Structure 1
């Protein structure tokens, strides 16, 4: 059962890292909206963390899949599918010239991701506490 706790701790830290990346993207978009940063700097800072976010989401899904936590895998898989589809369509990067036209849509997308990740974080915390109490 100690392996289960390690899986849940790993998932917890992966979800915290994903939350930090999405919050960073939201802050960059908010800075752009309030004209604290220019479009080039904003889009380059967002584009720098997009692929690490996708990789972390893939690692999280793989962790749930390999460890046999099927429900958590099924809850995390839609975000991975969405990220893969964005990458395949080459729409994962923020365009410097179109960033002001897409600002509201990009903010909504990242806000939905943030809410989704917070729900996954609370579910993983619940499962981690549940598995710890099961061992006692």
Structure 2
């Protein structure tokens, strides 16, 4: 039963990360279509970047603690990318360069969204598998 709870927590954390990345994409789309000014868009995106990183690191740690090695190893590249961005001080969106970086930033967010969607599918599969197994 503990395995089921671990997968349920994993699923909820993945949904939270998915929602945060989707929010960032919406902010970038609003900026692209000129519904919001660059300062507001950058401040909204920057406000959710660190929680996204923290939730994703927690998710990776959860997989490590619960001995789900496959998911942990699949989680590592995303964690490495986030740590690399944070240590190089490139994780925040710059207000003055946001229009120049808009296509690149949207591409990065869409790639993250796809990566998380795969994790969501795997998490649902393993959650159902643990229910059937018990």
User: Scaled by the length of structure 2, what TM-score is found?
Assistant: 1.00
State the Cα deviation string for residues 1-35 of structure 1 (Å, max 9, x = none): x1000000000000000000000000000000000
Count of residue pairs brought into register by the alignment? 134
1:6 aligned partner: 5
Residue matched to 1:45: 44
Displaced runs of 4 or more, over 4 A = none
Shift, 1:71, TM fit: 0.2
Secondary structure at the counterpart of residue 98 of structure 2: coil
Equivalent residue for 2:59?
Answer: 60
Tell me what 1:103 maps to.
102
- Cα deviations across residues 76-115 of structure 1 (Å, max 9, x unaligned)? 1110000000000000000000000000000000000000
CA distance in structure 2 between the partners assigned to 1:24 and 1:77 by the alignment: 23
State whether structure 2 residue 23 is matched by structure 1 residue 24. yes
Matched residue SS, 2:97: coil
Query: What SS is found at the alignment partner of 1:100?
Result: helix
User: Once superposed, what is the RMSD of the aligned Cα atoms?
Assistant: 0.3
TM-score, length-normalised on structure 1?
A: 0.98
Structure 1 segments unaligned to the other structure (5+ residues): none
